[in-house]
Amino acid sequence: MALEIEKKFLVKDDTWRAHAAGIVYRQGYISVSEEHTVRVRMAGKRGFLTIKGGSVGGGRQEFEYQIPTADADEMLTTLCTKPLVEKKRYNIAFAGFTWEVDEFFGENDGLIIAEIELEYIDQPFPKPDWVGAEVTGDSRYYNASLATYPYRAWKKQ
C-alpha cells in the first residue's frame, strides 16, 4: 500500500518555465466520493488506472497501475464524467525535492498549480520564489473537483 502526502500551491509567476519540460495529461474520473476516487489517465502515450482513498490526517492511500493505451482511451471516452481534465505537467527539481507544476487547459484554462509530495506530514521543504499561496485544503483545486466544477465556472463567481 502506498501513502500519498502532498501539498498544493498556486503559482505566482512564470519564472518556473525556464526549468521545465512538460508532458500532456488527459484524465477523467469513473467514481468520486469522500471515501475514494477512481481515475483514468493518459500521461503522454501511457495509460494508468488510479484508485485513491479518502484523505486521513493529511495523507491518503494510493494505488496506481499502468494499463494499455487503448483501454485508457476507451475508458476516458465512454466511462469518465465530462469534462476531462486536460493539463501539461512539468517536473522541476528544487533543493532536493521535485515539484510538479500543472498548467490546465480546456475548461480549467488559466489555472496553474504546483504540488510537492512529501515522505511524512510535517516534513520541512524549501519553496521556490514562484510558489504562492497554499491551497492544499481547498477542495476546489482537487483534480476530481475540477472535472465536475471546472475552474472557468467558479472563477467567474
Residues classed as catalytic: 29
Give SS3 for 10: strand
Cell numbers given for 117: 509530495
Give SS3 for 73: helix
Give SS3 for 18: helix
Beta bridge partners of 91: 100
AA identity, residue 7: K
